[in-house]
Amino acid sequence: MRRTVRWNLAEQPVFPDAPADEPGWEKNRPAIRNRFRDLAYLPRGRSAWNGTLAAWAFAARRALADRADLNLWAAMHGLPPSARYERLGRDALVCWHGTSALRARKIREYGLFHRDGVWAATRPTIAHSFTRGRSQQFGAGSAMVVLVVSKEEWDPHATPRGPNVVEFHRNVPRECIEYILWSDRLEFVGVEKGRQPRPWGVARFKRAAGRWIPQSRPPVRLDGQHVYRDFDEWLEMSIRRILAALGRAAMVEVFSSLYATLDPWEALEHRQVFDTVERLCGKPRTVPGGMQVFSLPAAP
C-alpha cells in the first residue's frame, strides 16, 4: 500500500471539535483490491482516523457475531463501558447518528432533536455515509453519535425505515447519548459509566535515536497483566489480545483497537499491522459477504 496521506486541504471553517486536517473521504482502492472491504476508508499512509475506523469496526463485529457487544467494543478502544447499555441488557438498541462535528457539540449537551423527527441507523456504515455528506457539504467536520435506547420504551415512538434505519418521532433525550466518535478521537459522554469490562490501557511511546521506545522504563506492564519491552512486543501482544477477545476478527477491528490504544498514533505504520497479523494467523478466511477474518491458530 502507498504510504502517502492525501489530506483534504480545501479551505474550511475551523470549529473547536472539527480538525481542519481531516483526511479526504476518497476510498482506499488498494485495500479494496486486496479484498479488505472493511478498510475502504482507511487513509492511505500512517494515520489513525479514529471515528471512521471505530464505526467500521463495530459494523464488522455486527456482521460477524449474533450480537455486537457495545461495552466490549468500548473497552477495546480505551473507553469506559455504558451503564445504560449494561442495565438494559437484551432490551438495548444501539443506534448511530451521522452528523457534523458542529452539531455533535449541541447533541452532547441537549440530545437529539428535530421538528421532523430524528433518524438513526443500527448499521454504523449507514451513519458514516451521512457524516461524510455533512463533512463534504458543509465543511463543519464529521462526527457520529452512538445512542442506546430501550426497545420496549421506544417501539411506540419509532417507525422502521427499512431493516437498518429507524425514525424517532420525538426527541431522543440527552441520557440516551453514550459516545461521540470524532475524526481524531473517541469520547464517552454517557451519564454513568458501567462496571465491566475495564477500558484497555493506552501504550505510550517516544522517539529516540530514530526508534519508538516506551515512555516508561521497560518492562512496561499494561492493565496489570500484559507486559512489553519494546514497540514490536507491544504490537504482537496487542494483536494477540484483540484476537483472543473476539475469537475471529476483521482487519478493521485490529486496526481500530490498535490506533485507539496507542500514543502517539504516528508510531504505527499500516504495513506493520498487516505483516504481524499475517505472521500470527496465516491466511485469512473469507466469510459470507466477502469479509476476510483472522484468528489465532488453535493451541496444540
> Which of these three, 119, 153, 188, is where a domain ends?
188
Q: Are 12 and 19 in contact (CB under 8 A)?
A: no
How far apart (Å, rounded) are the C-alpha atoms in residues 129 and 40? 12
Using only C-alpha atoms, the chain has a radius of gyration, in whole angstroms, of: 19
Residue 268 has a CB neighbour count (10 Å cut-off) of 22
Tens of pLDDT, residue by residue over 180-195, are 999 889 999 999 999 9
The verdict on 165 and 68 lying in the same domain is yes
Sheet holding 211-214, edge to edge: 211-214, 203-208, 262-263
The verdict on 166 and 227 lying in the same domain is no
pLDDT of residue 48: 66
Most distant CA atoms of the chain, gap in Å = 62
Q: Does residue 196 lie within any of the structural domains?
A: no
Helix orientation angle between 251-260 and 231-246, rounded to the nearest 10 degrees: 130
How far apart (Å, rounded) are the C-alpha atoms in residues 107 and 145? 8
The verdict on 46 and 145 lying in the same domain is yes
Range of the domain at 235: 203-294
The verdict on 166 and 111 lying in the same domain is yes
The verdict on 145 and 54 lying in the same domain is yes
CATH code at 228? 1.10.10
Listed as ranges, residues in the chain with pLDDT below 50 are 1-20
Question: What's the whole-model pTM score?
Answer: 0.89
The verdict on 171 and 210 lying in the same domain is no
Q: Does residue 5 lie within any of the structural domains?
A: no
The verdict on 171 and 45 lying in the same domain is yes
Q: Which three cell numbers stand for residue 250?
A: 476483521
The verdict on 134 and 106 lying in the same domain is yes
The verdict on 217 and 98 lying in the same domain is no
Q: Which three cell numbers stand for residue 25?
A: 473521504
The verdict on 234 and 183 lying in the same domain is no
The verdict on 69 and 115 lying in the same domain is yes
How far apart (Å, rounded) are the C-alpha atoms in residues 95 and 26? 25
Please state the domain count of the chain: 2
> Which of these three, 133, 159, 188, is where a domain ends?
188
Q: Residue 252 belongs to what H/E stretch? A: helix 251-260
- Identify the bridge partners of residue 168 per DSSP, sorted by sequence position: 118, 158
